[in-house]
Structure 1
Amino acid sequence: MTDRRGELAANLASVEERIAAACASAGRKREEVTLIVVTKTYPASDVRILHELGVRHVAENRDQDAAPKAAECADLDLTWHFVGQLQTNKVRSVVRYADLVQSIDRVRLVTALSAAAEKAGREVGCLIQVALDAEEGAVRGERGGVAPDGIGELADAVEAAPGLRLGGLMTVAPLVGPYEGRPRAAFERLVEFSSRLRAGHPAATMVSAGMSGDLEDAVAAGATHVRVGTAVLGVRPRLG
């Protein structure tokens, strides 16, 4: 076993223990929560090791890093999530490998993704990124997303767009505004929005929330997916 494989195996086991404990504490089954390992800035060799260790969901946030990495790992049965802010000029590349785009934040992006997915002959899952720091006129942070009052319009746009599938909602714990320092409350609010969304879009069941530092809060609130990078991969130099 290589040193890197041992490191990743130990880190992954620790994260799995945290998720399992959080599920037990919340009265949830472990299988209700999917771990997405955020492999941004880490090499394809790490993705291969993670796959050997049982990881099946990985996430990237920059197309220039993700596209070659996904191509190098194309032989693996992985679900690729794109979680970064996405410019419309990148959508043709992203739809070639991303199974889900978790950062839907404007109708123009929906239109561009739909056209690219149709041309590529693929169906791409979409999560609407919700900016909870923009709720009730709060000062907007820099983590992206649509204000809560824009969820409905975007959901309808995705639902009507060929080549796209509405998966649910995503958020990042706000650094400013009414939820600053209150990730549990932020994630509970996202789950409330998810419940409302499912009333009109029953298949939109995904709630993506929580990262290395606050995954327990996300699980307690009802998240179905947690996105963990540093706790699994550690701190390593950026690609390139």
Structure 2
Amino acid sequence: MTDRRTELADNLAAVEERIAAACAAVGRERAEVTLIVVTKTYPASDVRILHELGVRQVAENRDQDAAPKAEACADLDLTWHFVGQLQTNKVRSVAQYADFVQSVDRVRLVTALSGAAERTGREIGCLIQVALDAGEGAARGERGGVSPGGIEELAAAVAAAPGLRLGGLMTVAPLAGPYAGRPREAFDRLMEFSSRLRAGHPAANMVSAGMSTDLEEAVAAGATHVRVGTAVLGVRPRLG
């Protein structure tokens, strides 16, 4: 446990240095960027160590992993983000622990989340996942997310849904399409969409972009949240 704590502390410090340097490079305050540690595939014991090290925002992408982990860490003051593609049959479970769902990409999911939030008596923050690889004729991207043309309609649906709060936008740097291999340009584009969204929904000011390999580009573009997994937790060793 001591070795793992040292490993996580060192990795976390290195990521903090990267974020601070990225902020300084573009004249941003470090406090403007929130680090979310993506703990997918890692045990609840790691989440507890991260909490001891000061982490308060964690993310998961699979309900079957997240639900038991959130329950095991229910005594900790953590904010849980769900960042994976979410099927409607998992919504009831996710609504029990997720403070934010960052992967909202269709009206049907909004309806399901709203119903689940009302049943649990919780308010769930929602980020609209934008698929920058989706063509104008495509409804969604290959890795989830609504096409840019669908942001406004989906935002209106979230804003009107009981139990939900429109938080802002999220994206994953695309592997295909015009922004493939160009994360800074992709994140700049997301910021343009964020500006338009905030014109009608001023409180929807979260911009979640950037991961272990491209957090600097996200910070430079103006992201408010970065989602970092491997750079903090390392490559998971083989089991068995």
Question: TM-score normalized by structure 2?
Answer: 0.97
Q: Helix, strand or coil for the counterpart of 2:192?
A: helix
Per-residue CA deviations over 1:1-51 (Å, capped at 9, x if unaligned) read 700000000000000000000000011000000000000000000000000
Give the 3 Å change call, closer, same or farther, for CA 238–93 of structure 1 in structure 2.
Answer: farther
Q: Is the 8 A contact 1:105 1:145 kept in 2?
A: yes
Task: Spell out the pairing of 1:92-107 with structure 2 (5 A cutoff).
Answer: 92-107=92-107
Which residue is equivalent to 1:91?
91
- Pick closer, same or farther for the CA change 1:233–1:51 going to 2, 3 Å: same
- Superposed CA deviations along residues 108-145 of structure 1, whole A, max 9, x for unmatched, are 00000000000000000000000001144589752110
CA distance in 2, matches of 1:72, 1:31: 29
Amino acid of the structure 2 residue aligned with 1:91: V
The CA deviation string for residues 59-100 of structure 1, in whole angstroms up to 9 with x for no partner, is 000000000000000000000000000000000000100000
Partner of 1:176: 176
Higher mean displacement: 61-70 or 230-239 = 230-239
**After the TM superposition, which of the residue ranges 207-216 and 133-142 deviates more from structure 2?**
133-142
CA contact under 8 A between 2:139 and 2:150: conserved in structure 1? Answer: no
Secondary structure of the equivalent of 2:169?
A: strand
Whether the 8 Å CA contact 1:41–1:237 is kept in 2: the answer is no
Within 5 Å, give how 1:133-148 maps onto structure 2. Answer: 133-136=133-136, 142-148=142-148
Partner of 1:20: 20
- Equivalenced residues, count: 240
Over aligned residues, Cα RMSD in angstroms? 1.6
Match of 2:192 in 1: 192
Matched with 2:11 is 11
1:72 counterpart letter in structure 2: A
Task: Report the AA paired with residue 39 of structure 1.
Answer: T
In structure 2, how many angstroms separate the alpha carbons of the residues matched to 1:3 and 1:82? Answer: 29
Distance 2:2 2:146 in 1: 43
Query: Structure 2: which amino acid aligns with 1:212?
Result: S
Give the corresponding residue for 1:109. Answer: 109
Flag the 1:42–1:150 CA change in 2: closer, same or farther, 3 A.
same
- Pair 1:29 & 2:24 matched: no
- Residue deviations 1:182-209 (CA, integer Å, cap 9, x gap): 0000000000000000000000000000
Cα separation, 2, equivalents of 1:69 and 1:239: 18
**1:72-91 maps to which residues of 2 (within 5 A)?**
72-91=72-91
Q: How far apart in 1 are the matches of 2:45 and 2:148?
A: 39
Say if 1:22 and 1:219 are closer, same or farther in 2 by CA, change over 3 A.
Answer: same
Correspondence for 2:160: 160
Identity of aligned residues (%): 86
Q: Distance in 1 between matches of 2:139 and 2:69?
A: 36
**Contact kept? 1:117, 1:163, Cα under 8 Å:** yes
Which 10-residue stretch deviates more, 77-86 or 136-145? 136-145
Contact 1:172 1:210 in 2 (8 A): yes
Secondary structure of 1:166's counterpart equals strand
Q: 1:6 to 1:29 in 2, by over 3 A?
A: same
